[in-house]
Every structure is written in structure tokens, then in C-alpha cells.
Amino acid sequence: MSEHTSHPQRRARRGIYILPSFFTVGNLLCGYYSILSSARGTVGDLDTAAKAIGIAVVLDGLDGRVARMSKATSPFGKEFDSLADVISFGIAPAFLALAWGLRGLDPSAAGNPNLVQHIYQLGWVATFAFVICGAWRLARFNIQATETANMGPPAHRYFVGMPIPAAAGVIAAVVHAVQEPITEWSWAAAWLVLVSGLAYLMVSPIRYYSFKEIGLGRSELVIIIGLLVWLILLYSRVVLLLVAVSYLLSGLIVALRRRFVGAAT
């Protein structure tokens, strides 16, 4: 093989390795744009921030799939993807949760201004815990990805702990579905409970299905994905919320079933 023919091949191969990074950069851009939109704080901007996180979820799924299909996986790509995920699915949803859930509280409406102040302080704790647990979840996933599971279900079929994109997707789906920011302290407290629960689920031992082994043919899978996209385009607020909450509950239901049914048998 001549030198002239080898150079184009090397450039093509280098382009294949760079391709997944473009999706990762898009993921990172969506996270950054979500933070900027949350900072502006209007109803429309908060909804835009939630949509940006949703797009980041799609891009995050594409970069890994493209890397595996093109056989362009690399340690650099894995680390770059994790760093982008910390921004898009850790900091961005935490900032959105704080802006949407607490910024609209009126201290005078609660009858006790100190109560709202305490809730806001707890909001800082809960959202920061979400960031910490998300980063912890990513670090644990990177370590587990290099190890072979010796017992239980195959490691590639399940995630140990709720994936950080799914946790971020729950926050984004709720904001996109409800639209109007929270103004009552009781709902704000419930919102912080949800955010804290998502933080715990990310570092918990609860297993969530990875959907990497779906027992469907390619045609059936294309039909299902097409119907889901069509439903999202028509009824995005309801459908995205149902998808996010269903996945959230799926791990809890399986864990409860395994605990109680397994203990009974």
C-alpha cells in the first residue's frame, strides 16, 4: 500500500473516532444552554431549559451507540462523555430544579417568612446532593463497565442505580408538563423530596433495565420508536412525563417484588 493511499484511510479513521465526540459536544451544549435558560427564569425559559435537557438525553444515547457501531470507542471518549454528563444531567437539572421549584416562592404568602427561607436553604442542599450523587453514579458506572459481573443478571442488561440521564429526565419532564413554577411552600417541599429521592436512586443498588437487549426485531423496534416519536410530537407534555415516571417506578417495583416475593419463597 502506497503512502498516498494510507493517508486518506488514516484521515477517514480519525474522522470515525471524532464522530461520537460531536454528539458529546452537542450534549454539552444543551446542558450549557439549559443553565442559561434557567438563569433567565421566565416560564418559557424554564420550559426551554427542560427541553434542552431532553435533547441532551437523546444525544447522550446516540454518541455511545454511534461509537459502538463504528467501533470507535476509546478511553478518551468515555471520559469526555462522563464530563459532559455531569454538566447536562447533573448541574443543569439541579439548577433547573432550584429555579423552577423555589424561585417563585412568596415568603409573605406562607405566613412565616422563616419557613420559606429554610425551604430555600434545603433546596440548595437537595440540588447539590443531586449533583454529587450524579457524579458519584458516573464514576461508579465507569469502574463497573471495566469489570465482569460474577453473579446476578448480566451487567449489560441492567444499570446498578438509576442512570443520571433518566434522573435528569424526570426533572425536565415534570417542568415541561407543569410549566408554571411552584409558588406554594408545600409543593416546594414535595418537590425537594422528589429531587432528593432521585439523588438517592442514582447511588442506590436498585437495578434499572438498560434496554440494550430488547427482544424485538428491527422492524418492530422501528415501528415502536416511530409511534413514540409521533406521540411525543403531538402530546409531549403528557407522554414524556409518563415515560420518565414509568422508568422511575420500574426499578422500585422490581426491587420491591424481589424483596417481598423472594422473601416469601
pLDDT of residue 226: 78
How do residues 11-32 score in pLDDT, each as one tens digit? 544 544 577 778 889 999 999 9
Mean pLDDT estimate for the chain: 82
Q: Do the Cβ atoms of 173 and 244 come closer than 8 Å?
A: yes
DSSP string spanning 137-158? HHHHHHHHTTS---SSS-TTTE
Of 178, 164, 162, 196, whose CA–CA distance to 241 is shortest? 178
How is domain 3-264 classified at the architecture level of CATH? Up-down Bundle (1.20)
State pTM to two decimals: 0.84
- Count the neighbouring beta carbons within 10 Å of the beta carbon of residue 52: 23
Q: Do the Cβ atoms of 72 and 20 come closer than 8 Å?
A: yes
2-13 burial string, b = 16+ CB within 10 Å, else e? eeeeeeeeeeee
Which residues contact residue 242 at a Cβ distance below 8 angstroms, ignoring those fewer than 6 apart?
none
How do residues 93-115 score in pLDDT, each as one tens digit? 999 999 999 998 877 766 677 88
Q: What would the grid cell of residue 11 be?
A: 484521515
